């Protein structure tokens, strides 16, 4: 006897392991239980997919077996493949999110550090200016190229300080105020 049972199983193009259990029921009927397992799928929801159970005589199962199982098995297979793809995408999204958060945190930390250095330099310049040392204060004002967001404030502060320690004399040369 030559059957094409396994060829028809192969034509289903399902992903996973097909578990087939055949048992005798009442009144010469067979009970066929088919369960598709896909170990590649990491989602535990796959355990909620019940086995497909068919009941009938041997002749009834011979006639309609593959027509009865094709769509449900392909649907279950596709669902498990999609669940696994979804889980992988979710994992990638979490990794990307963690990487983005880390990157954002690094940028914020660098910006805060830069802001702190700017404020410290300006505070030191103010302190020296208050001590009557405008030339030293001018030297402590940060470079506007290092802090472009404060360039206007830095230029203004340097101008104020330079006006204090350099004033024109009667002869046109600059002299220091001591």
Q: What is the pLDDT of residues 59-117, one digit of tens each?
A: 999 899 999 999 999 999 989 889 888 888 888 888 888 788 888 888 899 889 989 99
124 lies in a domain?
no
27 has a pLDDT exceeding 60: yes
24 lies in a domain?
yes
Question: What's the pLDDT at 61?
Answer: 92
Average pLDDT, whole number, for the chain? 85
Look at the block and give the residue holding tokens 């649907």.
75
99 lies in a domain?
no
Q: What is the pLDDT of residues 153-178, one digit of tens each?
A: 888 988 888 887 766 555 544 444 44
15 lies in a domain?
yes
The DSSP call for residue 132 is: T
The total number of structural domains in the chain stands at 2
b/e 15-31 (16+ beta carbons within 10 angstroms → b): ebeeeeeeeeeeeeeee
Q: What is the pTM of this model?
A: 0.50
101 lies in a domain?
no
Q: Which of 72, 93, 114 is the last residue of a domain?
A: 93
End-to-end CA distance of the chain: 117
Question: What's the pLDDT at 92?
Answer: 85
Helix (H, G, I), strand (E, B) or coil at 177: coil
Each as own residue / partner, the long-range contacts of residues 142-151 (CB below 8 Å, 24 or more positions apart, any chain) are 142/117, 142/118, 147/114, 147/118, 150/118
3 has a pLDDT exceeding 80: no
Q: Which of 93, 121, 151 is the last residue of a domain?
A: 93
Domain that holds residue 166: 131-176
Q: What is the mean pLDDT of residues 30-37?
A: 94
């Amino acid at each position: 006897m030559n059957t094409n049972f396994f060829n028809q199983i192969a034509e289903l193009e399902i992903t996973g392991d097909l578990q087939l259990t055949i048992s005798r029921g009442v009144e010469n009927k067979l009970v066929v239980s088919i369960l598709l397992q896909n170990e590649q799928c990491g989602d535990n929801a796959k355990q909620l997919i019940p086995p497909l159970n068919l009941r009938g005589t041997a002749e009834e199962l011979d006639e309609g077996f593959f027509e009865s199982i094709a769509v449900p098995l392909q649907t279950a297979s596709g669902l498990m493949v999609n669940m696994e793809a979804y889980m992988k995408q979710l994992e990638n999204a979490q990794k990307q999110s963690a990487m983005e958060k880390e990157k954002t945190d690094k940028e914020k930390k660098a910006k805060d550090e830069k802001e702190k250095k700017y404020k410290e330099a300006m505070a030191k310049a103010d302190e020296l200016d208050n001590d009557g040392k405008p030339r030293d204060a001018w030297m402590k004002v940060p470079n506007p190229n290092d802090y472009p967001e404060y360039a206007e404030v830095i230029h203004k502060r340097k101008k104020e300080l330079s006006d204090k320690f350099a004033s024109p004399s009667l002869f046109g040369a600059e002299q220091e105020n001591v």
